[in-house]
Chains A and B, each alone.
Chain A
Amino acid sequence: MSNPSNFKFAKTDEWVSVEENLATIGVSDYAQSQLSDIVYLEFLVEPGDDFSKGDSIVTLESVKAAADVSSPVSGKVVEVNEKLSDDFEAVNADPFGRAWMVKVELSDPSELDSLMTADEYTKYCEERDH
């Protein structure tokens, strides 16, 4: 699965897609393939919560490991994808679409500048595989 060219990526394998001041966050295809089958997903934030870059927003549990999704940006939660709690298989099946996790109102859009482009992230993943 190729990394969408209009998304930005964090070194910790989260993606961000921005429309005006609203950012949508999820985990990358690389992240889900490393975790393998997701068996549980829990949101650690709810609408209205403020959080900073690096804070954990979601906990994922796979057959192999448990991992926290940390936010690549700071902001206020506008919406969480509640459906995902029951449809956690979507994280494996459609990480860049159906498995979006949290929508946030950015408090510091300049944080986006430190994230990777799709091409940079693709290269970053290839390097780690070697």
Chain B
Amino acid sequence: MFIPNTEADRKEMLEKIGLSKIEDLFVDVPEKFRYPDLNLPDAVSEMEALQNLSDLAIANDSTEDLICFLGAGAYNHYIPASVDAIITRGEFLTAYTPYQPEVSQGTLQAIFEYQSLVASLTGMDVSNASHYDGATAAAEACVLAFHHFRGKRTKFVLSRYVHPHYRETIKTYFQGYEKIKIIGDEKLEGFQSTEDLVKLVDNDTAIVYVQYPDFLGRIQNFKSLADHVHSMGAILAVSVNPISLGLLKPPSEFDADIVTGEGQPLGIPLSFGGPYLGLFATKNQFIRKLSGRLVGETVDGKGNKGYVLTLTAREQHIRREKATSNICTNQGLIALASTVYMSLVGKHGLKQVAKLNYDKAHYAADQISKIKGFELIDLGPFFNEFVVRSPIPTKELNALLLDYDILGGYDLSIDYPELANHMLIAVTEMNSKDDIDYLVEILEEVTND
């Protein structure tokens, strides 16, 4: 470890506080916990450490080695080389929290552009500077709703097909809020419809959370749900897959109040689960309760355009315990990656990517449905993900597929016990027609001997 102070510095500091050695600083820790045996291997040289780490890395199978049909919230998309080239520039890579506009114009402008792009993509009025991931953004939307109603409305309605991890994160956030009841995602007969959700929404409901496309890949029109939610004075929040918005109407079209989402598909590598990007955008009405950081455009004393953190009185460092959110930071570098991605592909490029996903997924669904023993579960329109029932449990099927270098779909029985043998298959622009045909061939082979 690099410690910048010298032995003499340390001695001086210890003398100043009346101690003779570093160990004296730890006397308040009970002795048996003071120097625990860490059970670490012996120290190795840099060369050996690098070799060890490389060996571990090589032992992984990545999406570069396998044909990937796994999605369920994180997707294998093409990332243009210029994304990395731009975000690894020193000015961006090491930029610190942009509190000082006089030295942070580049970072601040990049965040402002990010916010503008997210607002435009979702159809919302305002976007924050981003959160850690889609799950955090979803939980923050619930916190916003809680504060919006000053704790007086006690019911959160979550669709059963909001990503299971997001629902878990929301529940974790609200563990300590005794009055809050989280309903709507309980196990039920058949597949939950928007009408089922409508029945749960009353004037004690703070927020209704749905996903678009939902965890099973379904694209639903939430207009009638939105009308009911609004007639009860509640907030409608929607979690989105940003790539799908290249093709689908933005959630503003059915009058969503808050749009959140996982920004990973926008130029961010899968990387074993992170760092990812939480999208968070709302109607203007909620701008004073927006969680996280916000950058605004302004003019300096000479009338030149500039960018600053704005509306900071919402934030925890000023409003303390009364702040809507505990988050005063954002996912700077990853948000920048998505900004570069969105600017590079542009409006038409995003539409093309979305169309490729849609077409390939529909081709795959069609082909798989023809395999003996397989059934495509018809849940209405879908984007790049769909549910199939296979003749054998998904876990077994995936183990078989892995022998053929195929990373199979998500095992839905993990989160939905009623969906044994159901697999959620994702198809993106990265899957060629040959890949899909190969999957179909192998599925047939491993299940029909």
Contact = CB atoms under 8 A, between A and B. Distances in A.
A89 interface: no
Contacts, number: 18
Contacts of A44: 150
B179 to A, nearest CB: 17
Contacts of A68: 322
A122 B322 CA distance: 30
B313, B314, B319 interface centre (most CB from chain A within 10 Å): B313
B318 interface: yes
B288 interface: yes
Interface string A27-63: 0000000000001101010000000000010010110
Nearest to A59: B322
Interface in B279-326: 288, 313-314, 318-319, 322
A66 B318 contact: yes
Interface in A14-33: none
B368 to A, nearest CB: 54
Contacts of A42: 288
A80 to B, nearest CB: 14
Contacts of B313: 39-40, 61-62, 65-66
Given A59-B322, A65-B313, A66-B318, A40 B150 contact: no
What is the interface residue range for chain B against chain A? Answer: under 10
A65 B323 CA distance: 12
Contact of A65 (B150, B288, B314, B318): B318
Nearest to A62: B313
A44 B147 CA distance: 10
A13 to B, nearest CB: 17
Contacts of B150: 44
Interface residues of A, number: 11
- By secondary structure, the A interface counts as strand
A32 to B, nearest CB: 16
Nearest to A39: B313
A40, A61, A66, A68 interface centre (most CB from chain B within 10 Å): A66
Nearest to B323: A66
A39 B312 CA distance: 12
Contacts of A65: 313, 318
Contacts of A66: 313-314, 318-319, 322
A126 B82 CA distance: 62
A92 B205 CA distance: 37
Contacts of B322: 56, 59, 66, 68
Contacts of B319: 66
Interface in B49-73: none
B14 to A, nearest CB: 40
A69 B150 CA distance: 15
A40 B318 contact: no
A108 to B, nearest CB: 24
B275 to A, nearest CB: 31
A61 B288 CA distance: 10
A28 B318 CA distance: 22
A66 B318 CA distance: 7
Nearest to A56: B322
A48 to B, nearest CB: 12
14 contacts: A40-B288, A40-B313, A42-B288, A44-B150, A56-B322, A59-B322, A61-B288, A61-B313, A62-B313, A65-B313, A66-B313, A66-B318, A66-B319, A68-B322
Interface of B: 150, 288, 313-314, 318-319, 322
Given A56-B322, A65-B313, A66-B314, 4 more contacts: A62-B313, A65-B318, A66-B319, A68-B322
Interface of A: 39-40, 42, 44, 56, 59, 61-62, 65-66, 68
Listed from nearest, the 7 A-B pairs whose CB atoms lie closest are: A66-B313, A61-B313, A66-B319, A66-B318, A40-B288, A44-B150, A65-B318
